[in-house]
Structure 1
Amino acid sequence: MTTPAGMILGAGDVRIWGMTARERLRRTFARAKLAVVETAPASGGVVLALGGWVYDESLLATLAKRPDAVLVTDDGEAVAAHVPASQVAEASAALESGREPAGLQRLSLAELSYNEALRKREPPVLVRLTPENVRAVEARTFAGSYKGVTDVVTKYWWPVPARIVTRWCAIAGLRPNHVTFIGFLLVLAAFYLFWQGQFGWGLLCGWIMTFLDTVDGKLARVTLTSSAIGNVFDHGIDLIHPPFWWWAWYAGCFGIWAIGTDAAGIALWVILGGYVVQRVIEGIFMRRFGFHVHSWRAFDSFFRLITARRNPNLLILTPAWAIGQPVLGFYLVAIWTGLSLIVHAVQLVQAMAMPRERVVSWLSR
């Protein structure tokens, strides 16, 4: 099947996340690899969409793969359609007048409620944008950009302030990579400060970095400006830096950088090795079953809230520093990493012991 073109119907002048609804729709088409045209081509398919509406990316991407289909709201209102070039005029007139083009198969929101990339089930965004509901729609699209399975800090602490800062960044024209780069500088600052035993300042840099790590991803999703390079940059930093932070914390606590064979050295090996092995387990699970281990069962999604990753570990280290016991915090992180590794290992063994076709995400059922 050839890739259809995309056409935007109507003005769409109301602004959201620093751009007009029409510009947002143009970016949505572009991310679905649809060329935006002003007039119908001589042949092929065309995806028509009303410019005054805000669409989840998944909706138009799915519609682009469904010829002779019409996208309808929960109220039965037709807002987009995939038709042959020869039917563009007729279908455009129907959509702009609020009618459903005849002879098309309905595509409903209920079919598209599971977002595998963000590991959650919820109705995709599809709403008419007006000057009165801009903030509400921004809140809805921001919530739609959030992963359903993540750590406790990202899930419960950051959403409100991150939405505010994300909006500021969008209006100021900042791109996600700008935010990621600032976060990268804070990664380096936290590492240096931990190494020097300046744990309080290091934690401040670390927490700001974790906050910006939430902002950059949300900024990319709500402004539709994510890129392959930005994704590698962001996730590469996230993947690599935590072990260096914990090594620096060890150096700051004990005044040495070499990893010894005493209790502190063994604890550091547990932290570093446990982190790496857990990531390997996650990779094996993903490769074999095609989805993330933390999306398998309800317990696995719950455990992702607290498993020994960067943010939960910072939640251990911060109060330990606050009471003047950074060494205690270090050992507690080691213990929690060891326990988390055991849970991950059990998860993998359980999955491998089951028929492959029975291992499916509880969120997709």
Structure 2
Amino acid sequence: MNLHASSPAAPLGIVMGACPVRLWGMSGTERARRILLKTGVSEVADAVRGDAPCLLLRADWVVDPALLGLLRAEPPGVALTVRRADGCETVLAAHLSAADAAAVCADVSTLPPGVRAITCAAAAPIYLPALRKRLVPVVMPLTAETVSAAEKVTFGGAYKGVTDIVTKYLWPWPARQATRWCAERGITPNAVTLAGLLLTVCVPFLFAHGWFAAGLAAAWLMTFLDTVDGKLARCTLTYTPFGNVFDHAIDLISPPFWWWAWHVGCRAAGIAYPLPEAALAAVVGGYVVLRLQEGAFKRLFGMHIHVWRRFDSLFRLVVARRNPILLILSVSAILGAPGWGMAATAAWTVISVAVHATQMSQALIARRVRPIVSWMAE
């Protein structure tokens, strides 16, 4: 598919069929409707009307929203099909003229002449910059027997590919259970983010009073909710620009206050460690520098610094950001040496800044030879 092509006008969205089976707290019919709306249709109607192009989606199949985005980017005249057990092709989704859409709605097993079919068997992994991952699009029937499998694969598709070690390896299973629980009860992503915000405010208060165990418990719960809210938004197709800003603003602003409060708590408890003021400056100042480096890289090269090469993606697992630092501080608290945790955090932050500076320099040099492209997009 040509990812750079675009239709001149927003198509009309049409959900083909109906499906009462629930996935992430919504029926297959409602899920298809939300996908169409997120893909940029003018509205979702029950049938073809007028001569506007149409974006069609089956309700009784789990079709990855990324595939709908690709169909939407194509000129009308393309359909996504799958081969049934009886050997016949059936249409799962399509971007068609009004006349062709009416014909497909009447008979999903027959494509009008001139419509290009793309079979699911030929689907290749798609690079999604927003999630920093390669995604093999999900295409599977939605039935009572497949709900569990569909939940697993759609949740995996909503997860970022390049992230920290805790989010990548520790949170997936419990986050999927929490996401399902929230979705089935109609809890919104912004409500989860708000709960995370309340914990975010509690953490520095607890740290500053030297209550490190309680502060760490609140901090880890906040980071868990920070994983859940994004997955809940993507799985239930309820993400919004406000929700994105709300979530990321908390992530961006809170860490320096946490680390400052840890330093204050150490001083209040009379806990000594080498060069405490210098360590605080390195941790807080280094965090700001790391963020500025990441922003500069994205502005210069049009992508995150952690998706350029495989090494860069691996380094994201442990770079001196919130969760890896929490790991360091947690280990130091368990060992009864919270001051040394601050010192170790300072050292790792300085190392991370140096690694980022090296990555930036290497990218500037490499760009002289050829354009900088993510290894996942090559």
TM-score, L = length of structure 2: 0.91
Q: Once the two structures are superposed, what CA deviation does each residue of 1:3-42 show, in whole Å capped at 9, x if it has no partner? A: 1111111111111011001101111111112110112121
Measured against aligned partners, the alpha-carbon deviations of 1:47-86 in whole angstroms (never above 9, x if no partner) come to 1111111222211122122110011348865311111112
Aligned residue for 2:169, secondary structure, equals helix
Give 1:116's aligned residue.
129
Q: What does the per-residue CA deviation read over 1:223-242, in whole Å, with 9 as the maximum and x for residues that have no partner?
A: 00011111101000000100
Aligned to 2:339, which of 300, 315, 327? 327
Q: Paired residue for 1:249, among 256, 259, 262?
A: 262
Please say if 1:68 is aligned against 2:77: yes
Query: Any residues of structure 2 matched to 1:27-46 within 5 Å, and which?
Result: 27-34=34-41, 35-46=43-54
**Alignment partner, residue 127 of structure 1:** 140
Q: Does 2:114 align with 1:103?
A: yes
- Alpha-carbon offset, residue 139 of structure 1: 0.8
Q: Is the 8 A contact 1:94 1:101 kept in 2?
A: no
Q: CA deviation at 1:100?
A: 4.0
Partner of 1:317: 329
Distance 1:102 1:234 in 2: 47
Q: Which has the higher mean CA deviation after the structures are superposed, 320-329 or 247-256? A: 247-256
Correspondence for 1:215: 228
Structure with the larger helix share: 1
Tell me which residue corresponds to 2:208.
195
Determine helix, strand or coil for the equivalent of 2:13: strand
Q: Do residues 157 (structure 1) and 170 (structure 2) align?
A: yes
Shift of residue 99 of structure 1? 3.8
Mapped partners of 1:360, 1:72: distance in 2: 31
CA distance in 2, matches of 1:242, 1:301: 21
What is the letter of the counterpart of residue 70 of structure 1? A
> 60, 70, 73: which is aligned to 1:52?
60
2:278 maps to what in 1? 266
Structure-2 separation of matches of 1:107 and 1:151: 36
CA distance in 1, matches of 2:329, 2:111: 58
Instruction: String of CA shifts for 1:259-301, please: whole Å, max 9, x gaps.
Output: xxx8111111111111111111111111121111100000000
Tell me the amino acid that sits aligned with residue 316 of structure 1: I
What secondary structure, in the 3-state scheme, does the structure 1 residue paired with 2:80 have? strand
Classify the secondary structure of the residue corresponding to 1:358.
Answer: coil
Whether contact under 8 Å (1:59, 1:112) holds in the other structure is: no
Partner AA of 2:31 in structure 1: R
The DSSP-based 3-state class of the residue aligned with 2:376 is helix
Judged with a 3 Å threshold, the aligned counterparts in structure 2 of structure 1 residues 112 and 322 are, in CA distance, closer, same or farther, namely closer
Q: 2:291 aligns with which of 272, 279, 285?
A: 279
Amino acid at match of 2:14: M
Return the offset for 1:122: 2.2
- How many Å apart are 1:136 and its aligned residue? 0.9
- Note the aligned Cα RMSD (angstroms): 1.6
Give the secondary-structure state (helix, strand or coil) at the position aligned to 1:275.
helix
Note the residue ranges of structure 1 that are not aligned, 5 or more in a row.
257-261
Partner of 1:305: 317
**Residue equivalent to 1:19:** 26
Taking the aligned partners of 1:273 and 1:154, their CA distance within structure 2 comes to 24
* 2-structure distance, mates of 1:135, 1:349: 46
**2:354 matched to 1:342?**
yes
SS in 1 for 2:45: coil
Matching residue's letter, 1:27: R
8 Å contact kept, 1:46–1:88 = yes
Structure 1 residue 355: Cα displacement = 2.2
What does residue 259 of structure 1 align with? none
Contact kept, 8 Å, 2:36 with 2:57, in 1: the verdict is: no
The residue number in structure 1 matching 2:240 is 227
SS in 1 for 2:54: strand
Once the two structures are superposed, what CA deviation does each residue of 1:192-213 show, in whole Å capped at 9, x if it has no partner?
A: 0001000000000000001000
Q: Secondary structure at the match of 1:363?
A: coil
Instruction: Tell me how many residue pairs correspond in the alignment.
Output: 358
Aligned to 1:140: 153
Aligned amino acid, residue 45 of structure 1: P
Q: Distance in 1 between matches of 2:213 and 2:83?
A: 51
Deviates more, 1:30-39 or 1:130-139: 30-39
